[in-house]
Every structure is written in C-alpha cells, then in structure tokens.
Structure 1
Amino acid sequence: MARFLCALLILGTFAILPSFTQAQDRETKVRDDRKLLENSDHWIYNDFDRALREARLKKRPVLVVLRCIPCEACHEFDEQVVEREPRIRDLLDQFVCVRIPQTNGIDLSLFNYDYDMSFAVMYLHRDGSILGRFGTRTGRTNEHEDMQIEGFAESLELALKLEQVFDSQQTALAGKRGPDAAFKSPEMFPSLKDRYTDSLDYQGKVVQSCIHCHQVREAQRLVYRSAGKPIPDDLIFPWPGLDVVGIKCDPKTATTISVVNSNSIAAAAGLRPGDRLLTMNSQPLVSVADAQWVLQQT
C-alpha cells in the first residue's frame, strides 16, 4: 500500500511539472523580451505614443509589431524581424519601429487586425493614418507557407512608397481604418474589465496580467452572446483568406498571385498566376493582410 501511494505521489508530481514549467517558460519569455529590447537603439518597447512623437520629429512612418510573446506560432519569423535580418535591416531603418507585446491599452479603432494571430504588423503615417498591414495565416502551423522575410521586405518597400505619396493617397487610405470600436481598448470589454488593466504588471504576475490577442475576438463575441443577440458573420468568420475568392499569393512576395483556382471568382475575373494585386476597393495594397482587410469589410 505504501509503495502504491508513493507511486501515485511520484506520478502526481510529474503530472504537474509540465504546466508549472510551461508557466515558468512563459514568464521568462515575457520578461526577457522586455529586457532584450527596452534599451534598444532600434526598437521602442511598448510605448506607442513615444513612437508617434519620434516619427513626427524624424518625419518617418511608424512600424508597429504586435506580438503575443508566449505563443510559439510565428516565433521564428518574429526573431528575424526583432534581430533585423540583413534583408530588411536598411528598410527598417527608414521607420520608427515599436514593439507592443500585449493588447492591454491599445486603441481598437486604430489597431484593427486579425486578433487570432500571434504576430502582426501595422504601418502608420506619422499622423496616425494607416498605410497598411502585414501578417496572415492559414493555420496554426503554416508559418513558412504564409509569411517569409522576402515578402515582408517587399511589403516594407511598398509601405515606404505609400508614405512618399501620402498627400495624394489620403482618400484611398481612409478606407484602411474601420468604424470606431464599441470599446476603446480591450480592458474595457465587460468580460475583461474586472480582470485586467491597461498595462502589464511587471512587478507582479506579468503573464496573468496580459490580454492576449485572441481574447479580444472572444470578448467581442461575448458582447452579443451575453445580450442574447446573433453574433455577426464578421466575428464568426473573421479575416477571410484569399482562398475565398480562389487565389493564393507567393509568401516570398507582397501580393503576387501564385495559384488561381479554376471555377473561382478570381478565375472568372481573369486573374492569373504572376499577376500582382495592386488595389482592392480602391485601397492600395502592401500585403495579403491588406487584401484580407478589404474582404473583412465587404
């Protein structure tokens, strides 16, 4: 009997070790991310207002990386961006770059992107206008099929070109910002307001204080569910991929089509592999994410 109880205790210990270790790992990742970048010469860490001020001073566009640190998805791509991989280094130097590691406190009217992603980029004019978005996904483990550094480099170039002609493109770019959000920031949602604040608690339980990106979408749906109202289609099927119109883009490019499905909307429109998507609904595109934004609003 004693031997049996001892075995149970040992098994119980091993059963709780993975979750405890995982929690430690998440904590380490979050704290190490800040430690690595808070004094960086190239990244502003978790201070969007400072990034805007610096952009106005230097007359540069802003590149915002929104990253869920503990998530494994996209971590390789994220590392390439953070470490300023040689193919994008000179392009990043033309932006004021800021890294936001949580959704606490973000302006949901401005930062409207696919909240089910753990890595997303937004390009902004120094006045806060949206130039474009970058980052797409077709599944949890398809990082290399969806995003590659060559495609990001081309997207950066297109965003910089838009910045140069910003004055003549303001009407077209206005469509890249949606209507004002019902709740200004995530911690204001009824399902989140009693559990989170507008910032991370680095002095305490920092991981538990973080509002993850996917929680924003869940909170949006809960507003309708709690009121007994139908959940809108754009919250049930958010950010449709380009496969809904029958195309796939080459991830080594910004918006160049690699596949057109037969009998699809795209095929009927005459699109072919090798064509590049330049605009949708009059909005200039700098990435697949920009095209998804148009579909999301359609």
Structure 2
Amino acid sequence: MVRQDSEIERLEREFVCVRVVQMKGVDLRTFQFDYDQTWAAFFLNADGSIYGRYGTRAGGKEHATTHISLASLKKAMHTRAGGKEHATTHISLASLKKAMQRALELHRGYPANKAQLAGKLGQQPEYQYAEQIPTAVAKAKQRHCIHCHNVTEDLRQTKYEQKRLAASDIWVYPLPENVGLKMDVDDGLRVEVVTPESPAAQAGILAGDELVTMNGQRLISQADIQWVLHHAPAKGQVTVTLNRGGQLLRETIVPSGRWKETDLSWRESSWALRPGLWTLPLSEAEKREKGIPGDALGLFVKWVPPRATLAKQAGLRDGDVIVAVDGQTAPMNESQFIAYVRLHHLLGDTVALTLLRGDRREDVKMQVE
C-alpha cells in the first residue's frame, strides 16, 4: 500500500511500522477496535499512548471503503457499513495521509496533550488476550490462527452462553451517519453533509465544519469518531469541538432513539449470530404484491444453509417470507431480526415464526442454534 503513493511512503519513514497478521498474543487492552474491519491501523507512542485509529467500513459490499481514503491516513500520522463494494466507501489514500499527518502533529505535542489521548485507551478487558476467551479455548484445536473477527465472535458467544449478552455487544461502532454526519472520505474529519433534522443538525453542525475533538478526545480519522460513539451511552450526549473558518466552536450532539443500530450483514462476525437462515427485508412494493401491509414485517428467507439443521427441522425453506416473530408483526430488517432472536432467546429456546408460503400462512417453531 505504501508504494502506491510517494507521499505515504515519505510519511511512513516517520514511523516504526509493524504488521499484525493475526490476533493471538495481541494485548486486547491496547488493541481495541472494530474487529470486523477490512483493514485497520493504530498510531501509537512508544509508551503505549494511542494517537488514533484508522479504518472504517459501512454496510453492503459497495461501502467497504467508503469511510477510508489515502488522504485521511496521511493526515492521521501527522498528529475504514457491509460487503465488498462498501469496503472502501469510508476510506481512501487521501484520508490515510491526513490521519498520518495528524498523528505526527499529536506526537510533536506529546506529552503536553496526553489528557486529550487518555480516552483512546479502552478499559481493562475481561480477557487480556484473544486466546484466553472461553470460546476461543474450546476452538483452539480447530483454528490455525485467530482472525480479527474471531475476537468479536468469541466474546459474543461466550457472553451468550453465559446469559450475559447485551444490546451493546451487538450494536457496535456506529458510523457518523448514525447521528447525521456524512464525512468527506478524503479528509476524514471534514463534514460533507449534515442530515436535516438529525441530532447533528439540531446541534448546529454545518457542512464544511472540521471536527477537532469529541468528548474531549482529539480526532484524526472517522475511526476515532466511531470509537467515541461506540463508548458513548445509548442515552446521553456527545460534546464536539469543531473548526469553522478558523474559529473553534463547541457543540453538543444529543442522539435519540435506536441510534446505535447499524447494518450487521457485512460483518464476518454476524454469521455466528444468525439463527440458521439468511433473510432480506421486502420493499413496500414487494410487500404489496404479497398482500402484506407496508408497515408490517416481511422478511424474505434468502437461504437456509444445508448445515442449519434446526431451521430445516422447523420446516423453513428458501423463498419463505417471515411475517411474524413471536407474534410480533412490527417491521424489522435482518440485523434487527438477528438481534431480537439473540437478545430474547437462549440456545435451545423456541422462536415462533409465522411464514407466508405462496398465498398460505403457516406457523412454525424454530429451535435456536
């Protein structure tokens, strides 16, 4: 990657670069990030202080790099929502360069700016190393290495089996868009669009503003924004310092509703959450064609894998449409369906599903696996 851009190659010489190819033996106190990323980078001081993170991804293949770019990486060293087509909608060489530049800037100001970096180090984790997670221990003989996404999978499965799984374990690292901010992919911190009537709009943030800090933490990339949003309470506020035409302003974002929910489908770790089937939400037009109200549940069963024994035993087939879950008919997408099943049912529990098969409805009970 460095050899693709001479400026990144020049900036790279300012760093001691280390490539980490698997998570076994990696300190999870320091290296906490969105483990489903296509690619991620840390910018560190030799004493372990974290200047920032880089790497953001959105849902769907076309967004795999929409949140990262070469420009934002460069600026971060100076001080990555699902699927392959979305893997680069939030990243670019330009934003990578900016992230590198911003990281170097922070390094030059260190340790006087140490207080602004304190929040970038996560809390002491329950397990110091990925191989210590009980689920990882049980799978040790089956794996040649521990991939990044395995960390999320193993932590979730351990909590699920111990009846401790919470919504915060499923809805992780919300995008800036979740509070109404679409960032310039080639800068990482400059606001490109503010969604009307969103929490960001209500806070007074404008297109063109450059975010400087969130909850007191200096930012170098969209990944840093996600880090703050990930750790922000579901009900609370996020303070933002921004640069508007050379003037520093302080604003407060007050997120509302289910703002942390994002698309899980692109995440490799989501396969371990799926209850034995792959679903897609029907559009309102597709619902009308099948006689389903537009404001009601309609999940098309795209695929029941051959190994999904319990789903097949329940009678589920490719092409079925789920119109009720435990008697509830409120609309939900695949991610919300996955979360509902895992948060309301334990292994071996039974989920009541109403299916539309052709023009006939059928009630089935599926055991959770």
Q: What TM-score results when the alignment is normalised by the length of structure 2?
A: 0.54
More helix by share: 1
Corresponding position of 2:144: 209
Query: Shift in Å at residue 84 of structure 1?
Result: 5.5
SS in structure 2 of the partner of residue 100 of structure 1 = coil
User: 8 Å contact 1:123–1:133 — kept in the other structure?
Assistant: yes
Q: Report Cα offsets for 1:243-268 as digits up to 9, x if no partner.
A: 11101111111311111100001111
Q: Report Cα offsets for 1:43-73 as digits up to 9, x if no partner.
A: xxxxxxxxxxxxxxxxxxxxxxxxxxxxxxx
**Mapping for residues 144-183 of structure 1, pairs under 5 Å:** 144-183=88-127
User: 8 Å contact 2:183–2:190 — kept in the other structure?
Assistant: yes
Letter in 2 for 1:271: I
User: 8 Å contact 2:38–2:57 — kept in the other structure?
Assistant: no
Letter in 1 for 2:134: P
Q: Does 1:263 align with 2:207?
A: no
Structure 2 CA distance, aligned partners of 1:267 and 1:228?
Answer: 39
More strand by share: 2
Structure 2 CA distance, aligned partners of 1:132 and 1:168?
Answer: 16
**Mapping for residues 62-141 of structure 1, pairs under 5 Å:** 80-81=1-2, 83=3, 85-138=5-58, 139-140=82-83, 141=85
Letter in 2 for 1:122: F
Q: Report Cα offsets for 1:249-294 as digits up to 9, x if no partner.
A: 1111131111110000111111111111110001000001001100
Overall identity of the aligned pairs, in %: 36
Corresponding position of 2:222: 288
TM-aligned CA distance change 1:143 to 1:225, over 3 Å = closer
Corresponding position of 2:238: none
Letter in 1 for 2:88: H
Letter in 2 for 1:90: R
Where structure 1 has 5 or more consecutive residues not aligned to the other structure, the ranges are: 1-79, 198-204
SS in structure 2 of the partner of residue 279 of structure 1 = strand
Q: Does 1:237 align with 2:171?
A: yes
Structure 2 CA distance, aligned partners of 1:182 and 1:84?
Answer: 39
Runs of 4+ deviating beyond 4 Å: none
Letter in 1 for 2:15: F
SS in structure 1 of the partner of residue 43 of structure 2 = strand
User: 8 Å contact 2:176–2:226 — kept in the other structure?
Assistant: yes
Q: What TM-score results when the alignment is normalised by the length of structure 1?
A: 0.67
Structure 2 CA distance, aligned partners of 1:254 and 1:159?
Answer: 13
Structure 1 CA distance, aligned partners of 2:9 and 2:102?
Answer: 15
User: 8 Å contact 1:109–1:177 — kept in the other structure?
Assistant: yes
Q: Which has the higher contact order (CA 8 A, sep 6+)?
A: 1
Question: What is the count of residue pairs matched by the alignment?
Answer: 208
Query: Shift in Å at residue 179 of structure 1?
Result: 0.7
Corresponding position of 2:133: 189
SS in structure 2 of the partner of residue 258 of structure 1 = strand
Letter in 2 for 1:284: R
Where structure 2 has 5 or more consecutive residues not aligned to the other structure, the ranges are: 59-81, 233-369
SS in structure 2 of the partner of residue 210 of structure 1 = coil
User: 8 Å contact 2:28–2:129 — kept in the other structure?
Assistant: yes
Structure 2 CA distance, aligned partners of 1:88 and 1:148?
Answer: 12
